[in-house]
Amino acid sequence: MTHVLDELHWRGLVAQSTDEAALRSALAEGPVTYYAGFDPTAQSLHVGHMVQLLNMRRLQLAGHRPLALVGGATGLIGDPRPTTERSMQSRDVVAGWVDRIRAQIEPFLDFEGPAAARMVNNLDWTGSMSAIDFLRDVGKHYRVGTMLGKDIVARRLHSDEGISYTEFSYQVLQGMDFRELYERHGCTLQLGGNDQWGNLLSGVELIRKADGASVHALTSPLITKADGTKMGKSEGGAVWLDPELTSPYAFYQFWLNTADADVVRYLKVFTFRSREEIEALEGEVAERPFAREAQRALAGDLTTLVHGQGATDAVIAASQALFGRGELQGLDAGTLGAAVAELPRTTAKAGDLVVDALVGSGLVPSKAAARRAIAEGGAYVNNAKVESEDAALRTEDLLHGRYAVLRRGKRTLAVAMAE
């Protein structure tokens, strides 16, 4: 059986480890309790967070016990950003975000059985702690010189913004989290992104100094595109796990649009497909890149994982229907609205001429061009060919009372929308 660390290495998910040989032995000897933390600094997690969520799941499938920490305390402060201070949110807002993020984490882990996951909140052990207790019991183990040497702190110190004592202290709070989970649950491993290495070491050192024990930290590389830019951003900003912020359709399309140069690596990082399956898809990329089989596998797996099989089926049906390979009338309003969200658009109402809608949407440059497209049989409303140059939009053409999908030829789309 493949050691879970070997699996993580093959998938490109190991960047740094405190003592990999010792960690390898610990993982081989018996169940290890481990954790990863997620701060509620926004109302949703985004696709970048999925790396640690999936790493947690991989370790759980190997028989180890996960603790998923949602930082109700650290979320009130926020991990220092490279350039500027975070805007602090109210306690009520952060508490609401904690609940939302917990709900997003839960589907990734199994909360039953011998390796059952547990949700934890660091507000439980920091909320009642006094400043004196914090300084005496935790702060005495930290040396300011070491804290100043952390990469993110050093960068902020030399920036125009500087760094507040609040954000400077974040590494102490994260170190305290690891110690609390070590003492409460026997947690001996923390997972994180490579940009969190200094914060992970904070907990390792605190436990060594305060408890005389040796624990582990393991980071994953930050996932980038082949061109070196950050993965996880679309033209509209972050790609969120919350369907209200990033629709399942947009989520699917984000992964479907993965470049050939990135897709095999993303299949390793973000899916549970086997080596054999991924190698077969790698062959498809090399031999039939136009088919985009690897991208379809990636998009389907991740949309199902985050939003469920029903959402994936609806998204695929919408994609096919837009180009005439399915019934637009059968799509629900949310899926159809998401599918046409990025299309060129014009406003229209029942009774408006299709010619005017085609011109208004930019599908054709002029009424003469619109009439010519209709005469040649190349203009469609909701996949139905427009038969007459005098055709008008009907009430029933406005799907869900709002959308009429316009198409010129096989692949050029726009939407007419009721005001």
Residues 147 and 202 in one domain: yes
Average pLDDT for the chain = 93
174 annotated to bind ligand: yes
Residue 35 labeled ligand binder: yes
Domain shared by 39 and 111, yes or no: yes
* 380 marked among binding-site residues: no
Residues 406 and 362 in one domain: yes
Question: What is the token pair recorded at 245?
Answer: 């912020």
Q: How many domains, in total, are found in the chain?
A: 3
**Domain end call among 304, 321, 337:** 337
Among the candidates 291, 320, 337, a domain finishes at 337
Tell me, what's the pLDDT at 325?
Answer: 86
8 A C-beta contact, residue 256 and residue 292 = yes
Q: What is the gyration radius of the CA atoms in the chain, in angstroms?
A: 26
pLDDT surpassing 70 at residue 145: yes
Whether residues 164 and 253 fall in one domain:
no
If asked whether residues 68 and 180 sit together in one domain, one would say yes
The reported pLDDT for the residue numbered 372 is 95
Q: How far apart are CA 6 and CA 103, in angstroms?
A: 30
| Whole-number pLDDT of residue 233 | 66
Give the residue-averaged pLDDT of 140-159: 85
In CATH, what number is assigned to the domain containing residue 263?
A: 1.10.240.10
Q: How far apart are CA 246 and CA 240, in angstroms?
A: 5
Judged against a pLDDT cut of 70, whether residue 197 lies above it is answered with: yes
pLDDT single digits (tens) 162-188: 888 888 888 999 999 999 999 999 999
Residues 264 and 213 placed together within one structural domain of the fold: no
DSSP string, 349-360: -TT-BHHHHHHH
CATH number, position 39: 3.40.50.620
Strand partners, 193: 220
pLDDT cut 90: percent of the chain above it: 80
Taking the C-alpha atoms of residue 261 and residue 258, their distance in angstroms, rounded to an integer, is 8
Domain end point (choices 174, 192, 220): 220
Residues 254, 382 within the same domain: no
Quote the strand ranges of 105-152, DSSP E: 118-121
Query: How confident is the model at residue 82, as a pLDDT?
Result: 76
Q: Does pLDDT of 1 surpass 70?
A: no
Token representation of residue 196: 């969190």
- For residue 225, tell me if it sits in a domain: no
pLDDT in the model for residue 234: 62
Are residue 191 and residue 243 in the same domain, yes or no?
A: no
Tabulate helix, strand, coil % of the chain (nearest 5): 50, 15, 35
Asked, for residue 228, whether it belongs to a domain, the answer is: no
Distance of alpha carbon 411 from alpha carbon 383, whole angstroms:
11
Give the pLDDT of residue 398: 95
Same domain, yes or no: 355 and 333: no
Each residue's pLDDT tens digit, 276-318: 999 999 999 999 999 999 999 999 999 999 999 999 999 999 9
pLDDT band of 235, cuts 50, 70, 90: low
pLDDT band for position 150 (50/70/90)? confident
Do the annotations mark residue 43 as ligand-binding?
A: no
Give the range of the structural domain holding residue 398, as residue numbers without chain letter: 345-417
Q: 131 and 246: one domain?
A: no
Domain check: are 52 and 22 in the same one?
Answer: yes
Amino acid at 159: S
Q: Taken in order 343, 346, 348, 351, is the CA torsion positive or negative? A: negative
323 pLDDT tier (thresholds 50, 70, 90): confident
CATH number, domain of 405, equals 3.10.290.10
